[in-house]
Structure 1
């Protein structure tokens, strides 16, 4: 006997929801395994693609790894061409930073047209490495990850630098540092020009904070990527995806009470009352003197009242 239409739709919806949950669980486990070991073993590209699988649960990372490899191969071929030309002329040393960076920019900017997405800056796709590779546009941090991963495969070491409001990459050598802004078509900058750019973005006068010049670890880069994405989802009132991102953040920051509080509020938005109360209690245990403790306690009281009514 055929199932009535409404029952079939409900069964199909439940099956789809279960499939999404199991896909998310696999993502969390893979992400936990990846970031739970030694900092130096974290594969940034793999982690970035796992983040993207929150929105694209059927994402196959292999074609994207192959894409990164192919881009790096083109950079290597370009450097080999420069070496051949150098042997015949008095061209600059091909190991000079400007030559290496020129090869990266030639492939990624001039030929492939990767660029910053200024028109649709807050689109979540700008935070996903798979979509950046497909659409050739993204945020400063995801374009910087692209640069770092292509450079690594081409034998060039770049560092991620977390300037406020604007992520960039840096090449360090014996004579100093060169900063590259992938969001601005691979523009090259020195420290003074980086500061000028920050002042322009924030419309405030700043002095260089030494912390801004620190090379960020893979873990810190992932935290910044996830925070950007969580903010975007919350701004779009997409609390379900924001919750998934918050879960990933807590894998990186298991003792971050503020992140646990935020996840509690996301559970509350989604009417997951028991989980919301658990996270908010956890926040108060970690931060008993928090400035917002009375507000959080009030939320817990309201949750208890809702649960009592439901029972």
Structure 2
């Protein structure tokens, strides 16, 4: 199992630490077919690493209540009685109701004042504070819509993340970070150009829906960068472990975790990860540099023994 390799574990399951149990639970969730992954629950499992006393049921019930209010606004019965939307219903009606509940009544908004606060990437804190970054607000928006009976796509634009809905007349894009602004594809391109501060040639790949695993990967990668920038190597390592669970064959992630272990003076684990990195990417451009690190680690381990 990936988490066992990730942590170099040899202990029995009964001796697992709380963190190790969370890694195991996360791995079991993301090994499912992509469409079967409960994004909200997976995000709350991640948050449990930082908030061990977190009551996941409480937050999931909050999502259910919000979805119920959305359905009430469009005069739909509870989702248990009618799991799908009526065939003659325009999904745009549900989007209008969702925006009313999500932005007008609940006040969810983008955190422009403290954008790089790691709490913006934890779903429990987003639900409590009603603020977050584009990807977590989009995740929350998608999950409430799903509970209300509407399937939406996450769209990972360059510099930004939005949500896509298929309407009878075509696609519409919703920007949860900016109060649910409704955008066309051209609006999205203009938004990207404003972020890039230059004219860029539009790419069709920008508008391909991201998988659930990729959405989680981007969320975790945001946290990894935030913690790394603040030299919080222990928390960076937690995110690195989760990223490798999502992508066990990602060579660069294995290298990054090996360097984190080295920084934390966990030489055996650093040796294991950096060796795996070179196996996963035999033609790595930094191969000589990594081999020097490996030699240094072996010498250090020999001295310690």
TM-score w.r.t. the length of structure 1 is: 0.87
| Residue number in structure 1 paired with 2:220 | 226
Task: Note the C-alpha offset of 1:206.
Answer: 1.4
Structure 2: stretches of 5+ with no match in the other structure: 1-15, 77-86
Q: How does 1:1-311 map to 2 (within 5 A)?
A: 22-80=17-75, 95-311=89-305
CA distance in 2, matches of 1:197, 1:101: 21
The 8 Å contact of residues 264 and 275 in structure 1, kept in 2 or not, is answered as: yes
Task: Note the C-alpha offset of 1:310.
Answer: 2.2
CA distance in 1, matches of 2:237, 2:167: 41
Q: What is the aligned-residue RMSD (CA, Å)?
A: 1.5
Find the structure with the greater CA-based Rg: 1
CA distance in 1, matches of 2:60, 2:297: 45
TM-score w.r.t. the length of structure 2 is: 0.88
CA distance in 2, matches of 1:43, 1:208: 32
CA distance in 2, matches of 1:118, 1:306: 45
CA distance in 2, matches of 1:125, 1:219: 21
State the aligned residue count.
Answer: 280
Structure 1: stretches of 5+ with no match in the other structure: 1-20, 82-92
| Residue number in structure 2 paired with 1:85 | none
Deviations, residues 138-196 of structure 1 (Å, cap 9, x unaligned): 11000001100110111122110011111100101332100000000110100111011
Deviations, residues 91-146 of structure 1 (Å, cap 9, x unaligned): xx993343221111100101111001111111111111111000000110000011
The 8 Å contact of residues 138 and 176 in structure 2, kept in 1 or not, is answered as: yes
The 8 Å contact of residues 79 and 94 in structure 1, kept in 2 or not, is answered as: no
CA distance in 2, matches of 1:226, 1:310: 34
Q: Secondary structure at the match of 2:100?
A: helix
CA distance in 2, matches of 1:268, 1:118: 35
CA distance in 1, matches of 2:142, 2:88: 19
Q: Secondary structure at the match of 1:288?
A: coil
Q: Secondary structure at the match of 2:61?
A: helix
Q: Secondary structure at the match of 1:80?
A: coil
Task: Note the C-alpha offset of 1:306.
Answer: 2.2
Q: Secondary structure at the match of 1:172?
A: strand
| Residue number in structure 2 paired with 1:11 | none
| Residue number in structure 2 paired with 1:88 | none
Deviations, residues 63-103 of structure 1 (Å, cap 9, x unaligned): 0001001111111111119xxxxxxxxxxx99334322111
